[in-house]
C-alpha cells in the first residue's frame, strides 16, 4: 500500500516501517520532503496549542529552528541531499501564501487527513515530529503505536490484536481522538 494516497508527487511503501527506521524522508522527491517538513511543523504547533493555549502560532523563526535542529541533531532522519540551499527552497515554499504548505496557516488533523486522503496520515506527521523534538507531552510517546504499526505493516501482527497504549494516552480532540488505554488498531485507523 502506498502512502499517502494524495497530496504528494510520490507516495511511499511501508511508511510506518520507514518511520521506525528513521528513513521516512529518504528517497522522496525534494518538493515532497519540503511539504512534509512544513506539515510536520504546522501540525505540531496545532497539537501543542490544543494542549497549551499559550503556545505561539507558527512562525518562520520557529520553523527555521525546527529545520536547524533536524540538520544538526537529527541528521540521520534527513535525506543525504539536504543542505542550506535545500533549506532555503523549503522556506521559500513555506512562504507561498496561496499554496497548501503556507507555513502561517495552522494545519489541523481533519484537514490533513482530507488533503492526503488518508485518515491515519496525521499520525505519520506526529511520529516524525516526536523523533525530532520528543513527545508532545512528557511520558506520552507514540513509540508503542509506531512500533506496532510497523510490525503490522511487516505482517508480524494482526490488525485486530489490541494495542496496549500507556495509561492516559490521548490525541488532541477532533476526529483523530481521543483514544484510551486498550484500544484495538481498527479503532485507531
* 176 vs 144: which has the higher pLDDT: 144
The stretch 52-60 carries a mean pLDDT of: 92
**In the chain, how many domains are there?**
1
- Cβ pair 122, 188 in contact under 8 A: no
Question: What's the rounded Cα separation, in Å, for the pair 41 and 129?
Answer: 7
Taking CA atoms, 24 is separated from 10, 82, 86, 143, 176, in Å, by 13, 14, 17, 15, 21
In the chain, count of helices (H) and strands (E)?
Answer: 8, 2
Q: What proportion of the chain, given as a percentage, has pLDDT over 90?
A: 58
User: 0.85 exceeded by the pTM?
Assistant: no
**Band of pLDDT at residue 160, cut at 50, 70 and 90:** low
Question: What's the rounded Cα separation, in Å, for the pair 133 and 165?
Answer: 20
Domain range enclosing 142: 2-188
For residue 115 the three cell numbers come to 488533503
Residue 38 burial (CB < 10 Å; 0-12/13-18/19+)?
buried
The stretch 1-24 carries a mean pLDDT of: 90
Question: What's the rounded Cα separation, in Å, for the pair 25 and 173?
Answer: 27
Task: Give 89-139 pLDDT, tens digit per residue.
Answer: 999 999 999 999 999 998 999 999 999 999 889 999 998 999 998 887 777
pLDDT at 173 (0 to 100): 41
- Cβ pair 25, 34 in contact under 8 A: no
Amino acid at each position: 500500500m502506498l502512502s499517502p494516497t494524495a497530496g504528494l508527487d510520490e507516495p511511499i511503501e511501508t511508511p510506518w516501517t520507514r518511520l521506525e527506521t528513521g528513513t521516512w524522508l529518504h528517497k522522496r522527491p525534494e518538493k515532497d520532503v519540503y511539504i512534509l517538513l512544513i506539515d510536520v511543523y504546522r501540525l505540531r504547533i496545532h497539537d501543542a496549542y490544543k494542549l497549551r493555549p499559550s503556545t505561539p502560532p507558527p512562525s518562520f523563526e520557529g520553523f527555521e529552528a525546527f529545520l536547524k535542529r533536524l540538520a544538526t541533531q537529527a541528521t540521520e532522519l534527513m535525506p543525504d541531499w539536504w543542505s542550506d540551499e535545500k533549506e532555503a527552497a523549503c522556506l521559500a515554499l513555506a512562504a507561498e501564501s496561496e499554496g497548501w504548505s503556507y507555513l502561517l496557516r495552522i494545519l489541523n488533523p481533519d484537514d490533513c487527513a482530507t488533503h492526503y486522503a488518508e485518515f491515519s496520515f496525521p499520525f505519520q506527521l506526529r511520529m516524525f515530529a516526536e523523533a525530532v523534538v520528543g513527545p508532545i507531552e512528557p511520558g506520552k510517546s507514540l513509540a508503542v503505536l509506531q512500533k506496532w504499526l510497523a510490525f503490522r505493516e511487516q505482517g508480524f501482527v494482526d490488525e485486530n490484536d489490541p494495542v496496549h497504549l500507556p495509561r492516559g494516552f490521548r490525541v488532541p480532540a477532533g476526529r483523530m481522538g481521543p483514544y484510551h488505554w486498550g484500544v484495538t488498531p481498527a479503532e485507531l485507523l
